[in-house]
Structure 1
Amino acid sequence: MEYTSARVHVASPEDMPILAAAIGESPETVISHHLLTSRACNAWYVGDVRQPRGLIVQAHAFPAEPNIHGFDAEDIAGIIPYVDEWDTFCTPLHLVEGIERAVTAARDTTSLRTVTDIYHVLDSPIVDIPTHPQVRLLTDDDAMLTMMIDELQQTSAYKPIVAGAVSDGEIVSLAHTFAWSPLYVDIGVTTHEQFRGQGMATAAAAIVATEVQKRGKIPVWSTGAHNEPSLRIAARLGFRETSRRLYLIPVEEQLVPMTHEH
């Protein structure tokens, strides 16, 4: 355990699995749980490592969007100045009001915009599984295809489940497991722009979600409230909403030029 101040601790590699256990399992915590158990992040906390009052988890691979956990807004606000290279904080709804000022102050502004993140689970089998002739489960035999995809090369204690569509020797639509905890598995999807609207992402996500369920785990789907294509896929496969968070994004204030009267 390393101390940054009398209150804020930098999590050591030994602390990280303890913190993962402390935040518990839910659709909202699966990504942080995965990062902590894989030791693929930086983390700061206030309080006892076994029951932190506040925790911020920042992925090495995507540092711009740290996740906030805990119940004490004042303690979490005290962690924010120690975090670098961020653009937004993914924040539980019950903490938003208490940390808004700390988020804007860290960027020397008073303006803030928010983006809603919606969490879903698939806790029943997919009915009428959608298929696509170009979409299939990818295996070790496809390593030459998958090795070029950054999302599949991240540090993890789990081997990803991957499905996709291949065109001219390139993956053009992809679904994969993004984060794991003992109970939940978060799924990510992406499709090249020119191949969208053909049902590839839905078919690939169905394959991955089914494979996750075969392993006795619950698929999780998280996406922005503005991302209508992603929300349509979730609805098509039978995911149901469980909770929401807010991304708190400081907005740089525009200086208004001074005018002089003559």
Structure 2
Amino acid sequence: MRLYRRQDAQGASLAVYLHGGGMFLGSLDTHDTQCRIYTHLSGAALLSVGYRLAPEHPHPVPVEDCYAALRWAAANAADLGIDPARIAVMGDSAGGGLAAAVALLSRDRRGPALAAQILIYPMLDDRTVVAPPDLADTATWSAADNLTGWGCLLGDAAGGPDTPAYAAPARADDLSALPPAYIETGQLDLFRDENIAYAQRLSRAGVPVELIQYPAVPHAFDTFDPAAAVSRRAVDNRVRALGAL
């Protein structure tokens, strides 16, 4: 784990940050710059988690690693100078899916109470293996990539009838009593439909939800062009979500 905080932040909020990478890529270092930016601009502390990756460590290892990090953060809140009532989970892509799964785990196991779940174009549904016609030529994370990622995490069970919700949160039957959600997606993102559907289901379950769809951008658009106006707007909105903890 790697902790990011501003020295002038006392009694601050904290987001347990889970990096993207399709369940089989990514590390603390690949998302170091983003974490520094979010902490600097928001004042919230971030605890970035180097969870173990599939396929060497298939489900449930990654999500259990992330949940263990959340429990550690809550147990050590006083020593970290963190308000235990202001802890969130946050992640992008695969990390967004893991953040949603950690929220489910913490609810079901009566773990740390979460102030929010901040889900950046999250990877939620192992059944998304065919791109809609309008995305076939634009998805920077393709249906084939998604099939690879879920296959690494779940093996032959990917896409089958028995996928657990803690692996693919879109499979959860009950989304009630979860923390408020900030969810964003891109219009040209393979995850667009599953992200919107998850936000709608959360809302119907009584969970406060903010859903943002950015027009005409693909998956991880802010990584490909951080200087673009839409990328700067996305960072501003994420910082606002962190600042609201």
TM-score by length of 2: 0.31
Q: Which has the higher strand share?
A: 1
Larger CA Rg, structure 1 vs 2: 1
TM-score by length of 1: 0.30
